[in-house]
Copies of this chain bind each other. A is one copy, B any other.
Amino acid sequence: MTIDTDNSHLADDATTPTVAGPAHPRATTTLRPLALSDVRLGDGFWLERQRANRDVSIPDGLRQLHDAGNLHNFEVAAGRADGDVIGPIFADSDVYKWLEAAAWEYAREPDSSLLDDQLRVTELVAAAQESDGYLNTVVPRREGERYGHPERNHEHYCAGHLIQAGVAQKRATGRDDLLNVAVKVADHLVREFGPRSATGSAGDVDGHPVIETALVELYRETGTRDYLDLAAWFVDARGHDSLERFGGNSTYLSDRVPVREATTLEGHAVRAVYLTTGATDVAIETGDDALLAALGAQYDHMSATKQYVTGGLGARWDGEAFGDEYELPSDRAYAETCAAIGAVQWAWRMLLATGEASYGDQIERLLFNGFLAGVSLRGGDYFYVNPLQVRHDAHADEERNPKNGRLRWFGCACCPPNIMRTLSSLGGYLATSTGDGVQLHQYASGTLRATTDAGDLELRVETAYPWNGRVRVTVVAAPEAPVTLSLRIPAWAAGATLDGAATQPGGYARITRSFAAGDALVLELPLAPRITRPHSRVDALRGTVAVERGPLVYAFEAQDQPGLVLDDVAVDAASLSEQAEASVAEARELALPGLVTVSLRTPCGDALTGIPYFAWANRTVDDMRVWLPEG
């Protein structure tokens, strides 16, 4: 299939219902998200990734959920199959994340088989729900009583992903099937936990956050205030070591320090960023500026001291955890794909709340690097762990070790459907609006429509980003009154110009005027490759350099450096250069039109070739380094 890049569909689809994407606040925020249905990607980098997601990842994901037994568990719970439930305690959640992906993908481009598949799975999920709303296929059949082990049983976590999927299906298809299941689950939780509860488990929080953001989304969709209240209650109930009485580790479970008192992120990285994401949702909807300020400080501290150059989060295999400040080894980076996704969600909410461009920078860094490395270019092959170095003699003793190569699925399969739902809803992260105009945060070809106080503004974006830094924004339709167009200038984009005028990196270039159809602006983001040097406290990186080009971090794979031992190379940083598509075999090998590679020389004159980090391990699985010693 092909997607046109003109704007004709906007007029044609005038009767199509508006589709809100993920995280559409009810409260007034500094920036407002656009409807998912008002953003349409055109041919280019991200549309290629969405096509792979639709054509390969999503259909293969449904097969994997069948083969791995996740769907079987629902059949057992629905009384339609015999046998034991199987797989990890949180197996249900992978089904829900797939349902959410399928929903957003349907919104992106409707297709009857995509709808049939999700409704069939939805019917099965609904059949597995108990009469009081509780829904978990594994816990009551294998682990004992409900909520008996919140530190490990993931019951709220599964409920949260179900709710997110129910909201997505409602927004994307207009159908209430899964939303009804989600509401029953949420009403059950309201009865069992938090301020309205009168049961013994009232005081417990779940070992794995996500219910917080899910309940806020359900509040947004339904208007039922109880859900927001319970989310807010869960946020503040956390951080008091309450899971220790079940044997849980407070640090690991984000239960050691209350969210509003924390100064950093610690413990299990995915848990931690899911919690701050939900807390940000709560802060937005309750107007809790103190909480929002605490979360902003935590984001700053995390990005300054505990984040890889790829955006990756989680330095430790041990506990899949954040390390200490500046503990960022390249070879043993965990940097779980799900943690990058959680950070995108958190940064997006912070961006809506504050309008600060740095969160747009974060989303760009995460999406192009730490997130996208988690899925193959063809779709359907995944990394759970995303290191910045693979040694020649590394030994893969665990399934998720990247030395094993990309895998079709995992025993713990949280990442694949998380990638799917992120790619299918990606359009929602590109732009926002305010009363007086539109803000472009991420650059990709396509069209978008936004509502301002003066009227609707329709734009067409044309760019070969991230290979080329020229972004042309053409006005398709505009109100007569002046509006403000804001374009994010990444912090790395020194020398950027908008219509030839110099702009400051690390903020927004703004133009306020009356626009007419056909008016165009040209943003030029200089994409010369650049040398990045590490913070002096990072042991693993001392004396090394990385290469970035625009939003892309580069990686050096052994297969591109014949005759050199990647473990032993050193480079001359001053030798950095780039090679555009026409001259590089890697572009064809990787099926990456427009690919730009970079080159560094050793002191002996040997040349090393770097490809974008997101594209590594798409040919053979090989030694790889992002940071190279200077020498």
A residues near B, CB below 8 A?
249-252, 256, 266-267, 316-319, 323-327, 329-332, 389, 391, 393-395, 397-398, 536-537, 539-544, 567-568, 629
- Are A324 and B391 in contact, with the CB atoms below 8 A? yes
- Are A397 and B316 in contact, with the CB atoms below 8 A? no
A395 / chain B contacts, CB cutoff of 8 Å:
251, 266, 324
A329 / chain B contacts, CB cutoff of 8 Å:
327, 329, 332, 539-540
Most B CB within 10 A of own CB, among A250, A317, A324, A539: A539
- Are A325 and B391 in contact, with the CB atoms below 8 A? yes
A567 / chain B contacts, CB cutoff of 8 Å:
326, 537
- Are B318 and A323 in contact, with the CB atoms below 8 A? no
- Are A629 and B391 in contact, with the CB atoms below 8 A? no
Given A324-B394, A391-B325, the answer on whether A539 and B331 have CB atoms closer than 8 Å is: yes
Cross-chain pairs A/B with CB under 8 angstroms, 21 sampled: A249-B398, A251-B395, A252-B397, A267-B397, A316-B317, A316-B318, A317-B318, A318-B318, A324-B331, A324-B393, A326-B567, A327-B329, A327-B391, A331-B539, A391-B537, A536-B568, A536-B629, A537-B568, A539-B539, A539-B541, A542-B544
**In chain B, what residue has the closest Cβ to A322?**
B395
A331 / chain B contacts, CB cutoff of 8 Å:
324, 327, 539
How many angstroms from the CA of A317 to the CA of B332 in the assembled complex? 11
A394 / chain B contacts, CB cutoff of 8 Å:
324
How many angstroms from the CA of A318 to the CA of B398 in the assembled complex? 11
How many angstroms from the CA of A527 to the CA of B251 in the assembled complex? 45
A629 / chain B contacts, CB cutoff of 8 Å:
536, 542
Most B CB within 10 A of own CB, among A323, A325, A397: A397
Partner of A397, one of B249, B393, B543: B249
How many angstroms from the CA of A327 to the CA of B389 in the assembled complex? 11
**New A-B pairs, 5, CB < 8 Å, besides A327-B332, A329-B332:** A329-B540, A391-B537, A536-B568, A536-B629, A539-B540
- Are A540 and B537 in contact, with the CB atoms below 8 A? no
Given A318-B317, A393-B324, the answer on whether A543 and B540 have CB atoms closer than 8 Å is: no
A393 / chain B contacts, CB cutoff of 8 Å:
324-325
How many angstroms from the CA of A25 to the CA of B83 in the assembled complex? 56
A537 / chain B contacts, CB cutoff of 8 Å:
391, 567-568
Partner of A391, one of B250, B317, B326, B389: B326
How many angstroms from the CA of A629 to the CA of B325 in the assembled complex? 18
A397 / chain B contacts, CB cutoff of 8 Å:
249-252, 256, 266-267, 319
How many angstroms from the CA of A394 to the CA of B326 in the assembled complex? 10
How many angstroms from the CA of A346 to the CA of B87 in the assembled complex? 41
A326 / chain B contacts, CB cutoff of 8 Å:
391, 567
Query: Separation in Å of the A623 CB from the closest CB of chain B?
Result: 11
Query: Separation in Å of the A384 CB from the closest CB of chain B?
Result: 14
Query: Separation in Å of the A166 CB from the closest CB of chain B?
Result: 35
Partner of A543, one of B251, B317, B398, B542: B542
Query: Separation in Å of the A77 CB from the closest CB of chain B?
Result: 25
How many angstroms from the CA of A618 to the CA of B623 in the assembled complex? 42
Query: Separation in Å of the A45 CB from the closest CB of chain B?
Result: 32
Query: Separation in Å of the A395 CB from the closest CB of chain B?
Result: 6
Query: Separation in Å of the A253 CB from the closest CB of chain B?
Result: 10
3 tightest A-B contacts by CB? A251-B397, A318-B318, A317-B318
**In chain B, what residue has the closest Cβ to A323?**
B332
How many angstroms from the CA of A393 to the CA of B541 in the assembled complex? 19
A543 / chain B contacts, CB cutoff of 8 Å:
542-543
A266 / chain B contacts, CB cutoff of 8 Å:
395, 397
**In chain B, what residue has the closest Cβ to A317?**
B318
How many angstroms from the CA of A252 to the CA of B398 in the assembled complex? 10
A542 / chain B contacts, CB cutoff of 8 Å:
542-544, 629
How many angstroms from the CA of A555 to the CA of B330 in the assembled complex? 25
Query: Separation in Å of the A221 CB from the closest CB of chain B?
Result: 37
How many angstroms from the CA of A337 to the CA of B544 in the assembled complex? 32
**In chain B, what residue has the closest Cβ to A540?**
B539
How many angstroms from the CA of A482 to the CA of B64 in the assembled complex? 78
How many angstroms from the CA of A330 to the CA of B542 in the assembled complex? 13
A318 / chain B contacts, CB cutoff of 8 Å:
316-318
How many angstroms from the CA of A540 to the CA of B267 in the assembled complex? 22
**In chain B, what residue has the closest Cβ to A625?**
B539
Query: Separation in Å of the A251 CB from the closest CB of chain B?
Result: 4
A398 / chain B contacts, CB cutoff of 8 Å:
249
Query: Separation in Å of the A249 CB from the closest CB of chain B?
Result: 7
Most B CB within 10 A of own CB, among A319, A326, A327: A327
